[in-house]
Amino acid sequence: MFTTLLCLLTTFLPAAQKDSSSLLWKISGHGLSKPSYLFGTIHMLCTDDLPFSVAIGKTMKETKAFYMEFNMDDTEAMTRIAGEMMMPEGYSFKALLSPEDYTILSDYFRDSIGTSLQLLDKMKPMLIMSILMEKTATCPNPVSCENMLLLLAKDQGLTIHGLENAEDQIAIFDSIPDKEEAESLVKQVKDMAASRTEYQQLLDAYYKADLNQLLGLILQEEDVVRYKKLMLDDRNNNWIPVITKQIQQTPAFFAFGAGHLAGKGGVIALLRKAGYKVEPVAL
Look at residue 222 in the predicted model and tell me its pLDDT: 67
d(CA 209, CA 214): 9
Helix (H) or strand (E) holding 252: strand 252-257
Q: Is the pLDDT of residue 238 over 90?
A: yes
Look at residue 216 in the predicted model and tell me its pLDDT: 67
As a whole-number percent, the residues of the chain with pLDDT over 70 amount to: 88
Q: Cβ(280)–Cβ(19) under 8 Å?
A: yes
Q: Reduce the secondary structure of 162-173 to three states and give it as a string.
A: ECCCHHHHHHHH
Look at residue 214 in the predicted model and tell me its pLDDT: 74
Strand-pairing partners, residue 39, are 24, 255
Q: Of residues 192 and 133, which shows the higher confidence score?
A: 192
Q: Is the pLDDT of residue 244 over 90?
A: yes
**Whole-structure pTM value:** 0.87
State phi, psi for 36 to the nearest 5 degrees: -120, 175
Band of pLDDT at residue 246, cut at 50, 70 and 90? very high
Instruction: Kindly report, residue by residue over 220-237, the tens digit of the pLDDT.
Output: 666 667 777 888 889 999
Look at residue 278 in the predicted model and tell me its pLDDT: 97
